[in-house]
Amino acid sequence: MEKAQARSRLDLAREVLQTEADAILALSRRLNGDFLRAVEAILACTGRIVVTGMGKSGHVGRKIAATLASTGSPAFFVHPAEAAHGDLGMITAQDVVIALSNSGESGEVVALLPALKRKGLVLIAMTGNPASSLGREADILLDTQVEKEACPLGLAPTTSTTVQMALGDALAVTLLDARQFGPEDFALSHPGGSLGRRLLVHVKDLMHSGEELPRVTPGTALKDALLEMSHKRLGMVAIASADNVICGIYTDGDLRRTLEHSGNIYDLNIDQVMSPAPQTILHSKLATEAVHLMEQRRITSLLVVDADGKLAGAIHMHDLLKAGVV
């Protein structure tokens, strides 16, 4: 009995997904010049894109506004009931309004139509009923009608909201392409995300410099270089002249090799044991490039140079991990 019930539930779930998939495919086949007119109207907009809708259409509208805003088309959501009580003042004649209503007769949305029309703005309707009040008043009509809801009762907005969401994504992505909105632009809208960290964080933002940088001059006794390395806790010390010309680097790994092959390390100076011509990275490079270089060279730290090739700092893999770049 339980197995039969489980199969029945899986069949219903698959039927829901198939119904919604079929509706999206049907929508794609009937996209026409109205969609292109909507794109052109938004591209020509000198104000903002205002999205509104009631109930489930309102929830979808919030998502559409968020997607538009994060992909280069400034947008925000206005609740139609709140708009009727003062928030309509947020909307200007320079804006484009996208109104969502499957029936096209949502009372709160329809009540806004006279005021929106008086403002002289462009009204784009996303409705499943072109003959509705919203459909008739719209400057541009995007038809989102569906054959049936996926809900077995035919009551809960399911297929209709999925189609609205998909059409909103199609609109946002088409606008993204038209605006030539690239990864760097996307990162600026998402500075807290992993993409933002990868594309906005540079080596100079994370490097240790000044008093934080472990460094000694050529000829320094090894024991003094080790004290500097231990004090700054980067597992390395840079060897550079007074005018910041890099001479070498000495790391924890170099110390282990020194102990294996030398009798008394207190008799050595840093010039005798350092690694000359170390790997460096320009301070203006992306932090992700430092990660790639460290992985390629199988090292955990890099000396950082300025535009003149002079020592500017040092960066460790731990810095990159802490910043979330890796």
Looking up tokens 């950082």 gives: 304
State pLDDT tens for residues 177-201: 888 876 665 655 555 555 555 666 8
The CA-to-CA distance between both ends of the chain, in Å, stands at 50
Q: Which domains does the chain have, with CATH numbers?
A: 9-181 (3.40.50.10490), 203-323 (3.10.580.10)
**DSSP class per residue in 10-29:** HHHHHHHHHHHHHHHHHHHH
Question: Is the CB of residue 97 less than 8 Å from the CB of residue 124?
Answer: yes
| pLDDT above 80 (res 80) | yes
Residue 190 annotated as binding site: no
| pLDDT above 80 (res 262) | no
Copy the structure tokens of residue 103: 């029936």
Question: Is the CB of residue 122 less than 8 Å from the CB of residue 97?
Answer: yes
Please give the pLDDT value at position 158: 94
State pLDDT tens for residues 285-294: 988 889 889 9
CA 60 to CA 232: how far, in whole Å? 53
Q: How confident is the model at residue 85 (pLDDT cuts 50, 70, 90)?
A: confident
Please give the pLDDT value at position 198: 60
**Nearest partner of 119 among 82, 139, 94, judged by Cα:** 94
| Inter-CA distances, 67 with 21, 37, 208, Å | 21, 20, 38
Q: How confident is the model at residue 60 (pLDDT cuts 50, 70, 90)?
A: very high
Put simply, whether the predicted model's pTM sits higher than 0.85 gets the answer no
Copy the structure tokens of residue 298: 């199988």
Mean pLDDT of the chain: 89
CA 73 to CA 78: how far, in whole Å? 16
Residue 310 backbone zone (phi > 0: left; psi -120 to 50: alpha; other: beta)? beta
Q: How confident is the model at residue 155 (pLDDT cuts 50, 70, 90)?
A: confident
